[in-house]
Each structure stands twice: as C-alpha cells, then as structure tokens.
Structure 1
Amino acid sequence: MKKLILSAFMLAGLAFSAQAQDISKNALGLRLGDNDGFGGEISYQRGLGDNNRLELDLGWRNSNDVDAFKLTGLYQWVWNIDGGFNWYAGVGGGVGSWSYDRRIGGERFEDSGAFVFVAGDLGIEYNFKEAPIQLSLDIRPELYFNSDDFREDNFGPDLALGIRYRW
C-alpha cells in the first residue's frame, strides 16, 4: 500500500512538473480595452517563478471633461495549454484618481476624487516562438471602493487585448 501511495505522489509530481512554464522574465507593452473609460494602459509583467508573475498596469485618461489615472497590480498564475498558448488567472487591486470639469452653457460643473479597487484576472495568451512578442486577451472584473459619485455602481468588467515585447 505504501508503494502504491508513493507511486501516485511521484506520478502527480511528474505531471505537475511537466506543466512548468518558460515565462519571460520581463514583458512590456500595451493593454488596450474598455477599462471604464481609461482606454489604453502601459503594461509590465515580471516573472517571479516557473508559473507565476507580477503584472503592473498604468492607465490614464485626458479628455476635455475628465482627467484620471489608475494603477493596477496583479499576481498571476500561468498554465500551459499547448506550445506557446497559456492561460492565466490572478488577483490584485489598485488605486486611482479622477477630476471632472465641464461647462454647460454659462454654468461650470466640477468634482474630483480618489478610489481603490480589488480585481480578479482571467485570460489567454500566445507567446510567439519566432519573435519576442506576446498577445493576450483577458477579462478583469473590478470592484471599486470610494466615497463619492465616481461610478453609479461599484463593479466594472474590463475586457482587453494586450501586446507586449518579451525579454
């Protein structure tokens, strides 16, 4: 019985070690999507191990009426599907700030504030073998905590396409 249990653990360990990734140590690029009006983000990934990494994203918005920034940090786990295809999941959060200034007729409306949020992350990516490029598609549900009327609700799904240079 001991040999059977030991063999089962060894087989499980071999199966998990065969799934180890070759995650890039660094990747820098853009994450383009909805992001609650923020649009594009500068995205940086830092490999922490064989199958986990840290992702930092900085989004900003500068329009006629609204100026804002948002900084996101996520811890991600990565699993290989086949070849260069991986899927990943993560958790994290972030902070941000916004200001609103608009004139309607002769009247001026302005407000500003800050917010914090928690986020999850689920996506798929492809790492090209011929070039150090990574393409990704992910969804990031975000739950906001703030003391003002920045959002009518406190939930925001963020769907985005990413392109990064890996080294």
Structure 2
Amino acid sequence: MVKKSMIVVFALMMGFGLLNESKAQTYATGIGLRAGVSNGLTVKHFIQSNVALEGILHSRWRGLVLTGLYEVHKDIREVRGLRWFYGGGAHIGSWNSGNTVKRDYSGTTIVGIDGIIGLDFKFADAPINLSLDYKPAFNIINDAGFWGDEVALSIRFTF
C-alpha cells in the first residue's frame, strides 16, 4: 500500500514538473538518477529562479523511501552554472527485514524529516545537471534517530 502511494506521488510530482512553465536561471526541471548510500530517481523543479522542489524516490535496506525537499539555491559567481543550495523536507517509506541496527523487523514504515546542503552545476552547452549533496535525516516514526550517512551524486537531464 505504501509503495503504491509513493509511486503515485512520484508520478504526480513528475507531471507537475512537466506542466509548470516557471523558469529558473539555468534550468527549469531536471529528471535523473541519484547514486550514493542509497540509489534512486530524482526530480528537481524550480518554482522561482532560486527556489526548487525536489522529489527523491530511493531504495534503502530492501525498501523504498520517498523524500520531498524545499531547496534555496545561491549563485557562486566565480563559476558559471555553479550554485550551492540548502533546504529541508520530509520522508516516508518502508524498510524490510535486516534493515536496521536492531535487525528484528520483518518490515516497517518510517516517517521523518530531512535537511540538505550541496552543490548544483548545470553545463552551459548541454542539458545535463550534476548535483552533489549531503542529506541527513531524522526518523520520527520507527527506527527513531539520526541518520547522517546520506551523501549522493545526482545526474539529471534538464529542460
């Protein structure tokens, strides 16, 4: 049930990103892959020139987690196309057996809050965006506690 809901939410976010005509300084929407401690899909859409919404659907401990983030981007004037960003949001997901330090769950739903800080680079002559970020999380429901190991590289096709 949770997995189906996450897929529906992700599809809606992608559809919203394609329909909204808001333009950012360097790109409006980016869709791609995220690789790091957990791997998955990422969609980033700018709602203002320096504010983006990002949705991440990623796997972790034989489960799926959906994360929604609000991000503020700031230019790094010395390098064309490079910005740094920060923000926060929340996640919901499901982890399966053998997923946690306790290792006694057969499956559990998790809910928590996330922070994010990173670098975002858009190539000037190609529809490609690279993003390197650190995304710590705090689970509130099930496996409560701080998870500070999430570092990832995202590669997106932009339009």
Question: What's the TM-score once normalised by structure 2's chain length?
Answer: 0.75
Deviation at 1:68, TM superposition (A): 0.5
CA 1:52/1:91 → structure 2, altered by over 3 Å: closer, same or farther? same
1:33 aligns with 2:40: no
1:46 corresponds to which residue? 45
Report how many aligned residue pairs link the two structures: 128
2:130 corresponds to which residue? 135
1:88 corresponds to which residue? 85
Question: What's the TM-score once normalised by structure 1's chain length?
Answer: 0.71
Deviation at 1:146, TM superposition (A): 2.3
Give distance in 1, aligned partners of 2:151 and 2:46: 23
Give distance in 1, aligned partners of 2:33 and 2:49: 23
C-alpha distance after superposition, 1:6-38 (max 9, x if no partner): xxxxxxxxxxxxxxx60422100011111xxxx
C-alpha distance after superposition, 1:106-152 (max 9, x if no partner): xxx761110101011000111100101011111011001223xx4xx
Q: Is the 8 A contact 2:131 2:155 kept in 1?
A: yes
Unaligned runs of 5+ in 2: 1-23, 99-103
Give the number of the structure whose alpha-carbon radius of gyration is greater.
Answer: 1
Q: Percent identity?
A: 30
Comparing 21-30 with 82-91, greater Cα deviation is found at 21-30
Q: What is the aligned-residue RMSD (CA, Å)?
A: 1.7
Secondary structure in structure 1 of the residue aligned to 2:120: strand
